[in-house]
Amino acid sequence: MLASLSAGELIYLRTLTVGFRSGRGVQVIKEGQQNNYLFLLKSGVLKVEKTYHDRLYSLAYITPGQMFGESSFLYGTAAGATVTTIETCDIYQIHSHEMHAILDGNEQFKREVIQTSEYRLASGALAVNHVFHSLPTSAREIILYNARFVKLNEGELLYRDGDSSNHFMCIVIGGRAEISVDNPDCFGERIILGEVAVGDEVGEIALVTEEPHTANVRALTLLRLLMVSTDTILAFRDRYHEFSTALDACIEDKLKARDQIVESQRNFLS
């Protein structure tokens, strides 16, 4: 990514960097905490891990020459993963304020940093998702290559309960969304089923069953999504037995949970 910077920008960037050395086992970035720096690894190796539904997943390794920590300062969110040294590492860090000034002055560099961030977030979300985790890494790479990145502003609808169009499956890579259904006993009212966040999937029920959507999905914050096409899901469902089993179990569990919540809410109101 640094290749897109001019000689002057590289010199300026170098004046802003602060170098430090970390021993083995040090958490340079901790999941859930605010990170105000962009890092560049000079030497050593780091590992990236993410917690999802109380389970720790190993996502990737960072090697010399790679940047990390870009997602936090790009989107102003807490770190989505923990980055830990696995040997002594020499690292450069640049504060987000200075980094934003450089990004705003070079559109190509900014675009490449954003693309790298979106790719990493999507790759991590697929790796921890209980349906896509069953796929081999090469299959998830194919999904990343063919999928689309989509953003919704707070309050926007991704799916509407009862709609029969837009049968695609999405993985949340940033933000949160509310899941609800229309109250069958009271026009205009909704029954809240829950929320989805990074690593969770939406839209798979309508895609597989070829029935109308069974819930509303509304963005509670800026929502970033990886949109996977129907053709991709169905092709992988035919090819990978574990993926098919996990997808079917996911749909069955969601439909059962939805029916239980709706029934309990109707009994409560009556």
* Nearest residue to 71 via CA among 29, 107, 15, 10: 29
Domain boundary among 93, 128, 163: 128
Q: Do 52 and 199 form a contact (C-beta atoms < 8 A)?
A: yes
Residues 61 and 142 in one domain: no
Is the domain of 87 the same as that of 172? no
Residues 6+ apart with CB under 8 A from 39: 28, 29, 67, 68, 69, 83, 91, 92, 93, 94
Residues 106, 155 within the same domain: no
| Pair (140, 89) in one structural domain | no
Residue position matching structure tokens 């229309």: 182
CATH of the domain at 76: 2.60.120.10
Q: Are residues 63 and 153 in the same domain?
A: no
Question: What is the number of structural domains in the chain?
Answer: 2
Q: Are 215 and 172 in contact (CB under 8 A)?
A: no
Amino acid at residue number 121: L
Give pLDDT tens digits along the chain (270 positions). Answer: 778 888 888 888 889 899 999 999 999 999 999 888 999 999 999 999 999 988 999 999 999 999 999 988 888 888 999 999 999 999 999 998 888 888 888 889 888 899 989 999 999 999 999 999 999 999 999 999 999 999 999 999 999 988 887 678 999 999 999 999 888 777 778 889 999 999 999 999 999 888 889 899 999 999 999 999 999 999 999 999 999 999 999 999 999 988 888 888 766 655
Residues 85, 25: contact at Cβ < 8 Å?
Answer: yes
Domain that holds residue 6: 2-128
Residue 81 near residue 57, CB atoms below 8 Å: no
Contact between 146 and 205 under an 8 Å Cβ cutoff? The reply is: no
Domain boundary among 128, 143, 166: 128
Of the residues 128, 146, 180, which one is the last residue of a structural domain? 128
**Pairing mode, if any, of strands 55-62 and 46-52?**
antiparallel
Residues 37 and 108: their CA atoms lie apart, in Å, by 20
Query: What does the pLDDT read at residue 97?
Result: 87
- Same domain for 22 and 151? no
Length of the chain: 270
Query: For position 63, what pLDDT does the model report?
Result: 96
Instruction: Give CA–CA dist 177/246, Å, rounded.
Output: 22
What share of residues in the chain are helix, strand, coil (percent, to 5)?
40, 30, 30
Return the pLDDT at 96: 87
